[in-house]
Amino acid sequence: MLSIKSENLRIILEDLASKNALIAPVERNGYFEFSRLRKAEEIRLDYTNARIPPKRFFLPERQLVFKYDPKKGVTEEPEDDFKAVLFGVRPCDASALSVLDSILLKPPYRDPFYENRRKSIIVISLSCTKPLEECFCNVFETGPVRGFGEDLTLTPMDKIFAVEVRTPRGLALVEEFRKLFAEADGRLLEEHENLTRRLVGEMNNKIRVDKEKLVRLEKEADEAFFQGNAQRCIECSICSFTCPLCYCFESEDCLEKNSYARFRGWDTCISPSFTRMASGLDPRASKADRLLHRFCHKLSRIPLAFNAYGCIGCGRCVSLCPVGIDIREVLRKWG
């Protein structure tokens, strides 16, 4: 483990910002969000978590897939250079990236756009020292100190940051600024361990999950629970759009001057049009079906197929749902 003084971290961040290569948390319009910065002083190191998860840099809301010109045929548009360091991601959100990796980068069907962005963005996570009330990352062990998708893990200690190098890419970044880092001494290691223990203990969520049990959710789900929530659900897309792990997309062809362009963008399985086919047939015709599908996908099908949970416990859907549909209830009942 390494350590870095706050003022030295500033130097690195300022250097990155001056090269237009820094994406970091800032406060805008009354909440926190990630933004590409020109000046590092705007960064809010005391931020809680971003309202919109960092997935928007890896899976943008709208992305060009290809262009089609009647004369030239399909033209592939090279993705713009997106090189950046994404600084200050919470461990839960970083873990979401690792789960997305196992889904979207699994051969033979690799998502080239996601892969490209994943290659060009270095992720530095910042441990959560004040988890929010809605947080339940401890349930899936995706935080609060350490996640499993980041290149470097920074933990704020007293005036310094403990630095854990997680990938060769992270190491390369450290090497670039080697003089600013120091080896962690025994005392820091001990303090770090104590802090980890304290933070995990402080998480106010005492949910326990059992993977074997959750896998049976689809078969054992009781109808009353999902019917009740379906009656409430207003079919907006907040839960999917603000989920760091929801990756479903739809594509659309747009007519431009003399050519067509195909875009892809976020979609949500809660929408009635998600599974409705041209014939009118809809395998998930009712809201209850769709809600059950959403929870099953996250908690039993992704675990079965990719050996990781499709939820990382960030609490966004819990907090932002206008009608109080709560995934923690599902975990308590069927976990």
The residue ranges that bind other proteins (CB under 8 A) are: 29-32, 47-52, 61-62, 132-134, 228, 231-232, 234-238, 241-242, 250-252, 254, 263-266, 273, 315-316, 318-320, 322-326, 328-329
Distances in Å between the Cα of 150 and the Cα atoms of 70, 176, 205, 212 are 43, 18, 24, 28
What is the phi/psi pair of residue 2, to 5°? -115, 175
Query: Pick from 304, 295, 306, 297: which is nearest to 333 by CA?
Result: 295
Residue 144 falls in which region: left (phi positive, over 0), alpha (psi -120 to 50) or beta:
alpha
For the beta sheet containing 249-255, the strands, ordered from the edge strand earlier in sequence to the opposite edge, are 73-75, 62-69, 260-266, 249-255
Min separation Cβ 216 and other proteins, Å:
24
Q: Which is nearer to other proteins, 304 or 323 (CB)?
A: 323
What span, in angstroms and rounded, lies between the C-alpha atoms of 124 and 2?
A: 14
Distances, alpha carbon 75 to alpha carbons 72, 114, 117, 260, in Å = 7, 19, 20, 10
- Rounded distance, CA 313 to CA 302, Å? 15
Distance, in Å, from the CA atom of 210 to the CA atom of 300, rounded to the nearest integer, reads 11
| Cis before 54? omega within 30 | no
Which CB sits closer to other proteins, 49 or 155?
A: 49
The smaller minimum CB distance to other proteins, of residues 32 and 140, is found at: 32
Question: Is the Cβ of residue 87 or residue 181 nearer to other proteins in the bound state?
Answer: 87
- Give 82 or 274: the residue with its C-beta nearer to other proteins: 274
To the nearest whole angstrom, how small is the minimum distance from the Cβ of residue 132 to other proteins?
Answer: 7
- The residue among 68 and 263 lying less far from other proteins, judged by its C-beta, is 263
Work out the angle at residue 7's Cα, subtended by the Cα atoms of residues 6 and 10, and round it to the nearest 5 degrees: 90
State which residue, 67 or 264, has the beta carbon closest to other proteins: 264
* Shortest separation between residue 7's beta carbon and other proteins, angstroms: 27
* Widest CA span in the chain: 68
Q: How far is the CB of 72 from other proteins (least distance, A)?
A: 23
Q: At closest approach, how far in Å is the CB of 264 from other proteins?
A: 7
Q: How far is the CB of 168 from other proteins (least distance, A)?
A: 32
Give min distance, CB of 323 to other proteins, in A. Answer: 5
Quick one: 115 or 329, whose CB is closer to other proteins? 329
Q: CA 167 to CA 97: how far, in whole Å?
A: 14
CB atoms within 10 A of CB 20: 11
Beta carbon of residue 243, minimum distance to other proteins (angstroms, whole number)? 11
